[in-house]
Amino acid sequence: MDGRIVVITGASSGIGEAMARRYAELGARVVLGARREAELRRVADDIEAKGGKVAYVVCDVTRENDCKALIMKAVESFGGVDIMICNAGLSMRALFDDCDLGVLHRLMDVNFWGTVYCTKYVLPYLQQSRGSLVGISSVAGIHGLPGRTGYSASKYAMTGFLDTIRVENLKRGVHVMTACPGFTASNVRFSALTADGTQQGETPRNEARMMTPDEVAMIVARGVMRRKRLCLMEWEGRLTHLVKKFFPGLVDRLFYMVMKREPDSPLK
């Protein structure tokens, strides 16, 4: 990461914050985007206090102009972009039967369109630097998660979009990677939307067995350095990816059983 210019969305907390801090420690020049200015300033100030090089822009990824401004900040501050990490994300927890369709629109706006907007404006700079475009997806982008229809749909859409960008840029040297963490102890679970679009406010899952944001940050960094196309991070993701090829019905049943066991699960 030394000397690389790294742009990260959703950088004010969770995985995005962990990436910003860790990559700055490794010598990267980091450019941070998120909606909460106070939290962005906190992260940036801490990085600067430790000798890191950082810039930030308040950025709502559902707004095209905000995404453009984030990329322009990187270019103005450091001269280009080497790595773009589309990390900003929103989750949900509700059966589709009960779900307001506005919830699915909101998830697509953040998870899918946020990736599209950032890619549109960063791609010329990645083509110039032969850099990396990274989408932080999920196991839900490998197989549909019950109770997370909008989340899975948005992550599948992200994967299809990134796969196509990879093919279109085969001759231009752009590396494209889809990273799929499992359940991670980050704020995205607390802000997950319920059936009516309100935030659930707390996670039903035991965080003791979850990956930490810092672990995810380091795995993504290794994936970028190795220019991997798919980055699966723990046994659940790897097993899902493998077993689905041969026994997709079994994966359906296993996912149903696992998600049904959650406290207050919407599954019956």
In the prediction, which pLDDT does 258 show?
78
Residue 120 maps to a domain? yes
Residue 113 maps to a domain? yes
Q: Which CATH number belongs to the domain containing residue 219 in this structure?
A: 3.40.50.720
- Whether residue 88 contacts residue 34, with contact meaning beta carbons closer than 8 Å, is answered with yes
- Whether residue 11 contacts residue 90, with contact meaning beta carbons closer than 8 Å, is answered with no
In the prediction, which pLDDT does 263 show?
77
What is the per-residue pLDDT across 15-66, written as a single tens digit (0 to 9) for each? 999 999 999 999 999 999 999 999 999 999 999 999 999 999 999 999 999 9
Residue 265 maps to a domain? no
Residue 242 maps to a domain? yes
Q: Kindly report the pTM of this predicted structure.
A: 0.88
Is residue 121 part of the annotated active site? The answer reads no
Give SS3 for 241: helix
Residue 267 maps to a domain? no
State the pLDDT confidence band at 185, using cuts at 50, 70 and 90: low
Residue 268 maps to a domain? no
What's the domain range around 214? 5-260
Residue 7, judged by CB atoms within 10 A of its CB (0-12, 13-18, 19+), counts as: buried
Residue 266 maps to a domain? no
State the pLDDT confidence band at 144, using cuts at 50, 70 and 90: confident
Residue 92 maps to a domain? yes
State the pLDDT confidence band at 116, using cuts at 50, 70 and 90: very high
Q: Is the pLDDT of residue 103 over 90?
A: yes
Alpha carbons 141 and 137: distance in angstroms, whole number: 6
Alpha carbons 57 and 186: distance in angstroms, whole number: 22
Catalytic residue among 23, 117, 151, 156: 151
Q: What is the mean pLDDT of the chain?
A: 90
State the pLDDT confidence band at 184, using cuts at 50, 70 and 90: low
Q: What is the mean pLDDT of residues 221-247?
A: 83
Our count of domains for the chain comes to 1
Helices and strands, number each (H, E), in the chain: 9, 7
